[in-house]
Amino acid sequence: MNKYSISTKLNIFVAIGLLFLNMVVTIFVYYSVKDALLVAQFEKLTAVKTAKKEEISSYLKSLEGLLVSLASNKTTKDSFVAFEDSFYKIQKESNLTALEVKDKLKSDFNSNYLNTVNYNIPSVEQKREVDAYIPKDINGVIAQYVFITQNENKLGEKNKLIFNPKYDFSYMNAHKTYHDSFDKILSAFSLYDIFLVDLKGNVIYTDFKEKDFATNLKDGPYSNTGLADAYNKALSLNESNIAFSDFKAYEPSYNQSASFISTPVYIDGVKKGVLIFQLPVDKINTIMSFNGKYEESGLGQSGEVYLIGNDYKMRNNSRFVDDIQESAVKTLKSTIGVFEIKTDSTKNVFEANKSGYDVINDYKNVPVLSVYDSLEVFGKKWAIIAEKDLDESLKALFDVRNYMVIVGLISGFFTCLIFIIVIRRIIINPLNILNNGILNLINSSDVNSKIIVNSDDEIGKISNNFNLYLDDIKKDMEQDLKAIEEARKIMGKVAYGLFNDRIKSQGSSNAVNGMITSINDMLTATQKNVNAAM
């Protein structure tokens, strides 16, 4: 730095100082705003999580109330008696032959069912021979044939059949009497299906008429499913109590995940069977997905709220289900019951038994703001998680930071420019004037070249002292010139042989005074010699 001028050094130091100050202010504001923004974003996510927790809890509670209420309803009890009594008369009253019905049922299974079930999913029972799916009870075989195979409505809409006059037997008449009521309840509460199962384990009625209809849950093809689990649990319950079977793959629903709640049906104080609801996946998804209005709900482009069971698998579809590459998810086009999420948040709920919030890496390995809490679902513990990408959450902060950097650079540039102008005016220019005065003295010995003093600062004082120094030099020069002039005149007299005069003036320095003394001594000595010679 020694080779640079003071002007350059000052400019560099001013620029560095302003840049450092701008950086310090930016960092301070950045982290102050960041902390405040994080708190605000966590509060927003907490509010969203709380609202969804209340909404899903209320909905599931309403289903529990509906199940218990429906089981104790007289119409339900009457329908149970009618269905149970007529179910075991189907073969006798229909006049259908078992062989003909089974062959057509098998053909229907092969062409319209088994080839559409997703078996490429971990831990599901693999495809069996078609005979394994046929009900063992001939009444069940005929019931499936009439209400599924002979049902002209397409798959997924078999519940539209209320009565087929071609099969005018007592079960069909019971179906005509009660099915419409059950179907309206299913539609009103967005249920997936409604089941009535007797104590023998036979599914004597379903609303939706999938392949579980008319099968036996004790020793039939679906005796190891969630439906059978819900049924078996309900058999040991008292009236108005409920059992719950959590989400897992359910073969009659094409191995999509299904969940069931059940309660016993008592008639005249005697347990007669079980009423079961298959929980509505679509309704739960609609609630948790804000009906697709994520951005309007404050979750932006990356936020979501999801449910996790104690097996760490999702209980609703991820907002980003289409981006997940796991094979089971791609096969089912669903994350429910198959996609595992083990993050710090889910572990805190199930392993540490706590709720809270934190910045974590989510299941996409992306930093997110995560709010986590537990949720009781029919006696089981689920986790409810609300998350939003950290980058999106702090986008406003990044905008502020970028704005501050740009403004800081612009303001720093102009401030630096002003500083340079001021420094040049109050420091550099006076220094240049002082330097020019010194150079002028060196080059011309002109002691009259004084510096104009315009300030009382340090440079002004130096300049004033330089002027005083010039005055002293001028005074000394005048004094020396006077002595020199006197010596010149005396030396002129010496040329005419006059040695009586002496230099009386004093010089400004010892050297000059020594010279004067030497001249005077020389004149005295010369005069003595002259006088002696005479």
The mean per-residue pLDDT over the stretch 187-203 comes to: 96
- The answer to which of 56-60, 373-377, 431-435 has the lowest mean pLDDT is 431-435
Summarised one tens digit per residue, pLDDT across range 219-243 is 999 999 999 999 999 999 999 999 9
Cα 175–178–179 angle (5° rounding)?
65
Nearest to 479 by CA among 506, 504, 457, 459: 506
Helical (H) or strand (E) element with 359: strand 356-361
What is the pLDDT at residue 528?
Answer: 81
Give 456's pLDDT tier (boundaries 50, 70, 90).
Answer: confident
Helix 510-533 and helix 458-494, axial crossing angle in degrees, nearest 10: 10
Summarised one tens digit per residue, pLDDT across range 476-491 is 677 777 777 777 777 7
Q: Concatenated DSSP letters for 380-419?
A: EEEEEEEEEEHHHHTHHHHHHHHHHHHHHHHHHHHHHHHH
What is the pLDDT at residue 488?
Answer: 78
Q: Are 124 and 249 in contact (CB under 8 A)?
A: yes
Nearest to 308 by CA among 232, 370, 238: 370
pTM over 0.85: no
Q: Give the SS3 label for residue 272.
A: strand
Give 400's pLDDT tier (boundaries 50, 70, 90).
Answer: low
- The answer to which of 109-123, 305-319, 505-519 has the lowest mean pLDDT is 505-519
Q: Are 45 and 388 in contact (CB under 8 A)?
A: yes
In the predicted structure, residue 13 carries a pLDDT above the cut 70: no
In the predicted structure, residue 67 carries a pLDDT above the cut 90: yes
Summarised one tens digit per residue, pLDDT across range 428-445 is 777 677 667 677 766 766
Residue 72 has φ and ψ, to the nearest 5°, of: -95, -5
Exposure of 11 in the CB half-sphere (CA atoms within 13 A): 13
Better pLDDT: 189 or 465: 189
In the predicted structure, residue 2 carries a pLDDT above the cut 60: no
What is the pLDDT at residue 222?
Answer: 96
Q: Percent of the chain at pLDDT above 70?
A: 85
What is the pLDDT at residue 402?
Answer: 66
Cα 152–153–157 angle (5° rounding)?
160
Helical (H) or strand (E) element with 165: none
In the predicted structure, residue 202 carries a pLDDT above the cut 90: yes
The mean per-residue pLDDT over the stretch 410-434 comes to: 71
What is the pLDDT at residue 14?
Answer: 63
Summarised one tens digit per residue, pLDDT across range 255-302 is 999 999 999 999 999 999 999 999 999 999 999 999 999 989 889 999
